[in-house]
Amino acid sequence: EGAFLSVRDLHVSFRTEDGVVRAVDGLSFDLERGRTLGIVGESGSGKSVTNLTILGLHNPMFTSVEGEILLDGKELTTARESELEKLRGNKVAMIFQDPLTALSPYYTVGRQIAEPYMKHMRASKKAAWERAVDMLGKVGIPNPKQRAKDYPHQFSGGMRQRAMIAMALVCDPDLLIADEPTTALDVTVQAQILDLLKNLQQEFGSAIVFITHDLGVIADMADDIMVMYAGRAVERGSVDEVLRAPQHPYTWGLLNSMPRLDSDPNIPLAPIPGTPPSLLRPPSGCRFHPRCTFQERVGGTRCVTEVPLLGPDRDSACHLTADQKRTIFVEEIKPR
Ligand code: SF4
Ligand code: MG
């Protein structure tokens, strides 16, 4: 009973000067140990907010959180800050796009990796330093014994990213949240870091939530995928299912707006028209309707008036029939 991480009907909204932003609107998903869930969507889709909420890093003054986040059976939405802080050092870790948000310029890289290990694993200073050196080696830093004594500014961007991953993994977290961890890196380093995460996951058996806007990275990294749009999940399933036969017009748009190995280079990429909506006043019905070219196939005004719901397991939140979804993808989308 109960997945390792279980998010149930999560609603997150925050107050701004302009009104209430409904950043996450009824999100549910499960994640087991040793598995990777890829969350994909444009900025403003709610993917980052979801994960900050899991970590308890939202500002409680301005944020309202409803629903359940169960980690190993423990409810996080009502946990005290002291409990969350313990969790963040120990069970749950996060890697960000920018390593400088995690690394302090004032301390050596080795010390910053050793510190959480001392604190949460009650290790001696010496044991923690050895562990830090060991972790730096594991993430592929050459000559780790020497480099552990360096400061972050003495590392290249790719090495800082690796150091941050070493820091995130030093206490063997059960859950790792990676938010666009490789976006700022060049392709070669990116591939190395992704390989590294896969190897480390095999070694430590962590569950990983991998947030990105890049379907190619998801294909490479994730077991399951959840596509988010404007605060809601619009499609989910195994990576194979969703990438082989996507069912939602927004997922089709994402696929058509990225280069694929098998696509004809003479056919230009087709970006999704328009921009994601403001979550101050989200569109009625299907939130994708202002950008969707398939509404007339549904007929009437259903797309504008009725919220399409996402079922459990493999599904997509769209009023098109299963038959229409299949046919449109095979006959109109895929040939690109
Ligand atoms: Fe498009 Fe309607 Fe499906 Fe939304 S429900 S994705 S508007 S066809
Ligand atoms: Mg983000």
Whether pLDDT at 148 is above 60: yes
The answer to the question of residue 20 being in a domain is no
- Residue 230 Cβ inside 6 Å of ligand 1? The answer reads no
Whether pLDDT at 179 is above 90: no
Ligand nearest to C-alpha 47: 2
Whether pLDDT at 215 is above 80: yes
- Closest alpha carbon to 96 in 166, 158, 210, 181: 181
Across the range 1-25, mean pLDDT stands at 89
Query: What's the confidence (pLDDT) of residue 128?
Result: 97
Q: Report residue 2's pLDDT band, with 50, 70 and 90 as the boundaries.
A: confident
For ligand 1, atom 5, which residue shows the shortest CA distance?
318
- Residue 320 Cβ inside 6 Å of ligand 1? The answer reads yes
User: Which residue type, as a one-letter code, is found at position 259?
Assistant: P
- For helices 109-121 and 125-138, angle between their N-to-C axes, nearest 10 degrees: 120
Q: Report residue 261's pLDDT band, with 50, 70 and 90 as the boundaries.
A: low
CA gap 306, 136 in Å, rounded: 52
Q: Report residue 1's pLDDT band, with 50, 70 and 90 as the boundaries.
A: low
Q: How far is CA 118 from the centre of its chain?
A: 28
Whether pLDDT at 258 is above 80: no
Whether pLDDT at 91 is above 90: no
The answer to the question of residue 273 being in a domain is yes
Ligand nearest to C-alpha 40: 2
Query: What's the confidence (pLDDT) of residue 264?
Result: 61
Other Cβ atoms within 10 Å of 268 Cβ, number: 9
CA of 308 relative to ligand 1 center, distance in Å: 8
- Which of 56-65, 131-140, 272-281 shows the lowest mean pLDDT across its residues? 56-65
The answer to the question of residue 306 being in a domain is yes
Per-residue pLDDT reduced to its tens digit, 184-203: 677 777 788 888 888 878 88
CA gap 225, 208 in Å, rounded: 12
CB 63 within 8 A of CB 14: yes
CB 287 within 8 A of CB 231: yes
Query: What's the confidence (pLDDT) of residue 267?
Result: 61
CA atoms within a 13 Å half-sphere pointing along the CA-CB vector of 321? 5
13: β partners: 22, 64
- Count how many domains the chain has: 1
Q: Strand, helix or coil at 99?
A: helix
Q: For the chain, report the end-to-end CA distance as a whole number of angstroms.
A: 43
Query: What's the confidence (pLDDT) of residue 292?
Result: 95
The answer to the question of residue 314 being in a domain is yes
- Residue 155 Cβ inside 6 Å of ligand 1? The answer reads no
- Residue 298 Cβ inside 6 Å of ligand 1? The answer reads yes
The answer to the question of residue 215 being in a domain is no
What percent of the chain clears pLDDT 70, i.e. is strictly above it?
Answer: 95
Judging by DSSP bridges, how do beta strands 315-316 and 232-238 pair with one another?
antiparallel
Query: What's the confidence (pLDDT) of residue 263?
Result: 57
The answer to the question of residue 224 being in a domain is no
Per-residue pLDDT reduced to its tens digit, 114-142: 999 998 889 999 999 999 999 999 888 99
CA of 133 relative to ligand 2 center, distance in Å: 30
What percent of the chain clears pLDDT 90, i.e. is strictly above it?
Answer: 49
The answer to the question of residue 6 being in a domain is no
* DSSP string for 102-157: TS-TTS-HHHHHHHHHHHHH---HHHHHHHHHHHHHHTT-SSHHHHTTS-GGGS-H
Q: How far is CA 142 from the centre of its chain?
A: 29
Other Cβ atoms within 10 Å of 60 Cβ, number: 9
CA of 100 relative to ligand 2 center, distance in Å: 16
229: tokens are 């749009």
Mean of per-residue pLDDT scores for the chain: 88
CA gap 39, 51 in Å, rounded: 10
Ligand nearest to C-alpha 49: 2
Q: What is each CA distance from 177 to 60, 97, 169, 205, 300, in whole angstroms? A: 21, 11, 11, 14, 41
Q: What is each CA distance from 46 to 49, 128, 231, in whole angstroms? A: 5, 37, 5
Query: What's the confidence (pLDDT) of residue 255?
Result: 86
Q: Report residue 110's pLDDT band, with 50, 70 and 90 as the boundaries.
A: very high
Q: Strand, helix or coil at 330?
A: helix
Domain of residue 256, residue span: 248-333
The answer to the question of residue 269 being in a domain is yes
Question: DSSP state, 203?
Answer: H
Query: What's the confidence (pLDDT) of residue 61?
Result: 75
CA of 58 relative to ligand 2 center, distance in Å: 14
210: β partners: 38, 178
CA of 44 relative to ligand 2 center, distance in Å: 8
Across the range 301-312, mean pLDDT stands at 94
Which of 52-66, 91-105, 190-204, 318-332 reaches the highest mean pLDDT?
A: 318-332
* Residue 287 alpha carbon, nearest atom of ligand 1: 4
Query: What's the confidence (pLDDT) of residue 9?
Result: 93
Q: Report residue 259's pLDDT band, with 50, 70 and 90 as the boundaries.
A: low
Whether pLDDT at 262 is above 70: no
Query: What's the confidence (pLDDT) of residue 158?
Result: 84
Element (H, E) at 52: helix 47-54
The interface predicted TM-score of the complex, written ipTM, equals: 0.92
Whether pLDDT at 226 is above 70: yes
Pocket mutation for ligand 1, best pick of 298, 301, 309, 329 (most atoms within 8 Å of C-beta) = 298
CA gap 93, 120 in Å, rounded: 13
Residue 294 contacts by C-beta under 8 Å, 6 or more apart in sequence? 249, 320, 328
